[in-house]
A and B are shown apart, each in its own frame.
Chain A
């Protein structure tokens, strides 16, 4: 098993501005189900959501606010999972509930350098 990072990118511009309590409830359950499914397969390592606001530090050490409102894709959160290979990881990532929102995306990256090659 290898470790994969699943990055969740959210389109903060076109998101449903006024979700109802029922919609929120559905969103939360969808996340829980997704995470629980990964846990049930013993493939969940860790994860967290990120604040929608942040700071961007540029190469000249100027610190600005970010992610910018103009940015269509901002990082909403990430989880680290165990998976056999990229295909296996992508299969899990495909079920991420944020993909139901138009413009959202999920990125899968392999974590390298932690485990030595066999």
Chain B
């Protein structure tokens, strides 16, 4: 690995491990102390490695330093107490404190941490923020960039979330089997939205966006390593994320604008991720379980097929219809209408679209524009104009304007 990438890479992989192990040992209510110790460990590393060079086993070096800092903190704390309480006796455990940094304990601590930060008692954007910070080792300013916000707002949001978790006595215990299904679905929703943040966010920094998606995939893969969380639903979600990210590079233009599905360069689709998606999809279908992630994964699977067969769009249409029964959203309705156009043609699709109540949705007008563009360009332009009126971002407007020209 390139010398200059070592520290950021370790930050991504080890930050969450160290903080999770510390939290499991000292309790979740000490999360800020755990964060401080971990940040300080990396700060020390940046100084020492800058002067002495990178050690042979950098991860082990970080663990030793974190362990010493934790020990020292407790030790120092006990001395403070000794000053205040004359009769305070130094507890014997202090000097023999051992942090269990075995691979097994690290995994277990991280898994518990995933459940803690995805606790349904805090708002979803806080769950995502905490996941990014604590599980993925993102800096506050990176999170701020991803949420199109500023450092202070993010700091406050995370602080509030941590206080809430403390107040609600959220522990780092693994959820009981009774609770597991509900808690796991909250974890999956966080991962799903974390991915969406990267896949659909308006941040122009495409490296950051892809990073968010990859972190969501990493967290989801992590759940599969434990038998309690290796469920059909988790496999379906991971499969969905793999199928989606396979088209990541093809769907962004040079200016960060979205390239429409039909115009994507299929050579840029990542075959490796498609294969992974297929594998996890088959795993997801080993049990006769069924979830929204199954449906979405199946839709995403069909989108990775390059050949434009009737079966492809017929299947996509059916799957969207199924999804509609689970939840209704403008996006599902519009995508379903597009699939209908592919299967039954323009007239049927236009009729379907006009029956929908989406008169302020830019994509609604955009799709109408698309359907009219070949036959009635003037009418199409009027719809495109409407779409621009309701469009939320300059990039979206740019994409629509480009369609108007042709």
Which residues of A are interface residues toward B (Cβ below 8 A)?
15-25, 27-32, 34-35, 47-49, 51-53, 64-65, 69, 76-77, 79, 97-98
8 residue pairs A–B, Cβ–Cβ below 8 Å? A24-B8, A27-B43, A27-B47, A28-B46, A30-B50, A35-B51, A65-B76, A77-B48
Tell me the complex Cα distance, A17–B40, Å: 7
Answer yes or no: B72 CB below 8 A from chain A CBs: yes
Chain A CB count within 10 A is highest, among B12, B36, B51, B141, for B51
Query: B139, A77: Cβ atoms under 8 Å?
Result: no
Query: B36, A17: Cβ atoms under 8 Å?
Result: yes
Answer yes or no: B140 CB below 8 A from chain A CBs: yes
Can you list, as one digit per residue, whether each of B58-80 has a CB less than 8 Å from chain A (1) or not (0)? 00000001001100100110010
Chain B residues bordering chain A, tally (CB within 8 A): 33
Tell me the complex Cα distance, A20–B11, Å: 9
Query: A49, B139: Cβ atoms under 8 Å?
Result: no
Query: A52, B8: Cβ atoms under 8 Å?
Result: no
Tell me the complex Cα distance, A79–B52, Å: 10
A24-B11, A25-B4, A27-B50 known; A49-B68 Cβ under 8 A: no
Q: Please give, as numbers and ranges, the residues of chain B lying within 8 Å of A20 by CB-CB distance.
A: 138-142
Which residues of B are interface residues toward A (Cβ below 8 A)?
4, 7-8, 11-12, 35-36, 39-40, 42-52, 65, 68-69, 72, 75-76, 79, 137-142
Query: A24, B7: Cβ atoms under 8 Å?
Result: yes
Chain A CB count within 10 A is highest, among B50, B68, B137, B138, for B50
Q: Please give, as numbers and ranges, the residues of chain A lying within 8 Å of B69 by CB-CB distance.
A: 52-53
Tell me the complex Cα distance, A32–B137, Å: 24
Tell me the complex Cα distance, A78–B39, Å: 22
Query: B39, A21: Cβ atoms under 8 Å?
Result: no
Q: Would you give the shortest CB distance from B137 to chain A, in whole angstroms?
A: 7
A24-B8, A52-B40 known; A29-B72 Cβ under 8 A: no
Tell me the complex Cα distance, A30–B43, Å: 13
Query: B7, A28: Cβ atoms under 8 Å?
Result: yes
Tell me the complex Cα distance, A77–B51, Å: 9
Q: Would you give the shortest CB distance from A32 to chain B, in whole angstroms?
A: 5
Tell me the complex Cα distance, A21–B44, Å: 13
Tell me the complex Cα distance, A47–B51, Å: 7
Query: In the complex, what residue of chain B is closest to A33 when comparing beta carbons?
Result: B50
Seed contacts A20-B140, A48-B52, A77-B51; 19 additional CB < 8 Å A-B pairs? A19-B39, A19-B42, A19-B139, A20-B139, A21-B7, A21-B137, A24-B8, A24-B46, A27-B46, A28-B47, A28-B49, A28-B50, A47-B51, A49-B48, A51-B68, A65-B75, A65-B79, A69-B76, A76-B47
Q: Would you give the shortest CB distance from B325 to chain A, in whole angstroms?
A: 43
Selected contact of B42 from candidates A24, A49, A76, A98, CB within 8 Å: A24
Q: Would you give the shortest CB distance from A61 to chain B, in whole angstroms?
A: 17
Selected contact of B72 from candidates A27, A48, A53, CB within 8 Å: A53
Q: Please give, as numbers and ranges, the residues of chain A lying within 8 Å of B43 by CB-CB distance.
A: 15-16, 19, 24, 27
Q: Please give, as numbers and ranges, the residues of chain A lying within 8 Å of B12 by CB-CB distance.
A: 21
Query: B44, A52: Cβ atoms under 8 Å?
Result: yes
Q: Please give, as numbers and ranges, the residues of chain B lying within 8 Å of A51 by CB-CB distance.
A: 44, 65, 68
Query: In the complex, what residue of chain B is closest to A64 when comparing beta carbons?
Result: B79
Q: Please give, as numbers and ranges, the residues of chain A lying within 8 Å of B76 by CB-CB distance.
A: 53, 65, 69
Which 10 pairs across A and B sit closest by C-beta, in order of nearness? A20-B139, A31-B50, A21-B8, A53-B72, A49-B48, A21-B11, A27-B46, A28-B46, A28-B50, A24-B46
Tell me the complex Cα distance, A15–B44, Å: 12
Chain A CB count within 10 A is highest, among B45, B46, B79, for B46
Q: Please give, as numbers and ranges, the residues of chain B lying within 8 Å of A17 by CB-CB distance.
A: 36, 39
Tell me the complex Cα distance, A30–B52, Å: 13
Selected contact of A53 from candidates B7, B39, B45, B68, CB within 8 Å: B68
Tell me the complex Cα distance, A72–B209, Å: 39
Tell me the complex Cα distance, A79–B48, Å: 12
Q: Would you give the shortest CB distance from A66 to chain B, in whole angstroms?
A: 9
Tell me the complex Cα distance, A87–B303, Å: 69
Tell me the complex Cα distance, A30–B261, Å: 45
Query: B11, A29: Cβ atoms under 8 Å?
Result: no
Tell me the complex Cα distance, A69–B73, Å: 10
Q: Please give, as numbers and ranges, the residues of chain A lying within 8 Å of B39 by CB-CB distance.
A: 17-19
Q: Please give, as numbers and ranges, the residues of chain B lying within 8 Å of A16 by CB-CB distance.
A: 43
Tell me the complex Cα distance, A31–B49, Å: 8
Q: Please give, as numbers and ranges, the residues of chain A lying within 8 Å of B4 by CB-CB distance.
A: 25, 29
